[in-house]
């Protein structure tokens, strides 16, 4: 994976996606109702503490992408490769749970943007990891 992880565009991808998740997570912690309005989610949960909890989780995922970018150069490629692989697992899991929840009508259709984004990014990152593993062998 080191050849993939050292490509400048992969670092830019990590910065973009990590920044997006970190900001979204922090906004969910600070103002969950605002985020839901921006997502066009019609009914916020009765307990905003759960959205704040999810916000902490989303921010943590975002920081996982960003951490390798500020790590010492000698560790950057390995950390970025690991971050891409691990966040692909998390994104795939979240995307599937959200998609199933929408199908069961437990979440509003507006949450489809979360499911599609997470599943698409998970698939992209899995392809990167596989390509890197193939290139390394």
Answer whether 66's CB lies under 8 Å from 22's CB.
Answer: yes
Q: What is the pLDDT along the chain (137 residues), one digit of tens a residue?
A: 456 777 899 999 999 999 999 999 999 999 998 898 898 888 776 678 888 999 999 999 999 999 999 999 999 999 999 999 999 999 999 999 999 999 999 999 999 999 999 999 999 999 998 888 667 55
Q: How many CB atoms lie within 10 A of CB 99?
A: 18
49: helix, strand or coil: helix
Answer whether 46's CB lies under 8 Å from 22's CB.
Answer: no
Please state the pTM of the whole predicted model.
0.90
* Distant-in-sequence contacts of 41-50, Cβ < 8 A, 24+ apart: 41/108, 41/110, 41/111, 42/108, 42/110, 43/108
Ramachandran bin of 131, using left for φ above 0, alpha for ψ from -120 to 50, beta for the remaining angles:
alpha
Diameter over CA atoms, the chain:
52
């Amino acid at each position: 994976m080191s050849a993939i992880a050292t490509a400048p565009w992969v670092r830019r991808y990590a910065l973009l996606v990590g920044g997006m998740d970190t900001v979204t997570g922090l906004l969910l912690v600070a103002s969950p109702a605002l985020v839901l309005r921006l997502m066009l989610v019609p009914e916020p949960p009765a307990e905003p503490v759960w959205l704040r909890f999810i916000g902490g989780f989303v921010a943590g995922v975002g920081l996982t992408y960003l951490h390798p970018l500020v790590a010492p150069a000698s560790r950057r490629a390995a950390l970025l490769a690991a971050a891409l692989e691990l966040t692909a697992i998390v994104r795939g899991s979240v995307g599937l749970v959200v998609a199933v929840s929408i199908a069961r009508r437990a979440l509003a259709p507006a949450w489809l943007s979360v499911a599609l984004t997470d599943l698409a990014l998970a698939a992209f990152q899995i392809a990167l990891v596989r390509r890197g593993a193939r290139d390394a062998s």
